[in-house]
Amino acid sequence: MQDLSLHILDIAENSIEAQAKMIEIRLEENRSQDRFVLQISDDGKGMSPDLLKHALDPFVTTKTTRRVGLGLPLLAQAARAANGRLTIESDESKGTRVLAIFELSHIDRKPLGDIAQTLITLIMGHPEVDIIYTHTIDDKEYRLDTTEIKGQLDGIPIYSPEVITILKTNINQGLEQLRRKNESR
């Protein structure tokens, strides 16, 4: 995977496959600590202790369509390549949390990629799942919560073309404003 947004999409799709109804994606860029944190939490069915123990093994997967599960191992490798680490916590009745920490300025840290398209893909493909996306750069924050958005749509489906166009524009503008606010400091 060339960028972190594709890792996010892969993990979120795994969450949906695990029957998650809510996925929280959190990105934190802290320049003073030189840290980039990616956290994805869900309320899915979680992993058994045995599966959790082998979750970073590329030859272990719950998918029946292939024999390898490369998503988490590749993300773990990407974190290690940027002086970071990956941890996974899971409870069979509460869900899963994946936490990847990277050195923000490390030359081998993968770029974020098109996070707006990743979010739109998740929203369009799984409108029944609530997505909370929070992106923080130092002390500034952008937040998208589909639960709140659905509540304001008055029966219009969140996946309707008009709503998707507005959402994509909102995400791109919100992230651009977040970057500009922090560049002006």
CATH of the domain at 9: 3.30.565
**C-alpha to C-alpha distance for 48 and 51, rounded to whole angstroms:** 5
Exposure letters 94-118 (e unless 16+ CB within 10 A, then b): ebbbbbbbbbbeeeebbebbebbeb
For 45-83, write each residue's pLDDT tens digit. Answer: 998 888 888 777 766 555 545 444 468 889 999 999 999
What's the number of domains the chain is made of?
Answer: 1
pLDDT, averaged across the chain: 91
**C-alpha to C-alpha distance for 72 and 64, rounded to whole angstroms:** 17
The domain in which residue 51 lies consists of 4-183
pLDDT score of 116 more than 70: yes
Q: Phi then psi for 35, rounded to 5 degrees? A: -125, 140
Confidence (pLDDT) at 59: 64
- 4-17 vs 71-81: helix crossing angle, rounded to 10: 150
Q: Going edge to edge, which strands form the sheet with 95-103?
A: 85-91, 95-103, 35-42, 22-30, 130-137, 140-145
